[in-house]
Amino acid sequence: MIPYPNTRHQGLRARSTGGHSLRFQGGAPRYYEQTESGVWNGNRPSFTITCPQLANLSGSPTKNTNGVVEYECEDCKGFFPIKSDANGGWYITIDHITPWDVHIRDTAAPLPDGKISSQSARDAYNDIDNLKFLCNSCNSSKNGYSL
């Protein structure tokens, strides 16, 4: 019993879901979840993982340049700081490998009624196996996901 259709077979997606810098992680989420019922409403959850945590957990290399930690972009292999340290230059973002909504529907454990809890959706959204570092230049030049 699969509560949602498997969307892996839709072909190319029209656009990237985008990456997110650390800048947003301390503040209010950009997308609000309906937490009243505890059931995920299909909206984008918020990042709970930080760049240092992702680097640590994934083993992705970092570099310390004059006291500023930089993270490796998986596409261009350059090292970039988080946005607040970038001083107008390129910065690192966290990108979803499989589109986040597809990954949630494919991996989040369903509730007995077949729905997905907000917590489970958030966990799947922050699943390090589906995250990678991309600089904002590489992230914005992506045309879409090839499946």
Residues that bind Zn ion (CB under 5 A): 73, 75-76, 135, 138
Residue closer to Zn ion (CB basis): 73 or 104: 73
DSSP for 10-26? G-S-SS----B-GGGTS
Residue closer to Zn ion (CB basis): 60 or 118: 60
What is the biggest distance separating any 2 CA atoms in the chain, rounded to whole angstroms? 54
Please report how close the Cβ of residue 135 comes to Zn ion at its closest, in angstroms. Answer: 3
Please report how close the Cβ of residue 79 comes to Zn ion at its closest, in angstroms. Answer: 10
List all residues 6 or more positions away from 71 whose beta carbon is below 8 Å from its beta carbon: 51, 55, 60, 62, 79, 80, 81, 82, 92, 133
Residue closer to Zn ion (CB basis): 47 or 71: 71
Please report how close the Cβ of residue 86 comes to Zn ion at its closest, in angstroms. Answer: 13
CA gap 34, 41 in Å, rounded: 6
Residue closer to Zn ion (CB basis): 108 or 138: 138
Please report how close the Cβ of residue 145 comes to Zn ion at its closest, in angstroms. Answer: 17
Q: How many CB atoms lie within 10 A of CB 1?
A: 4
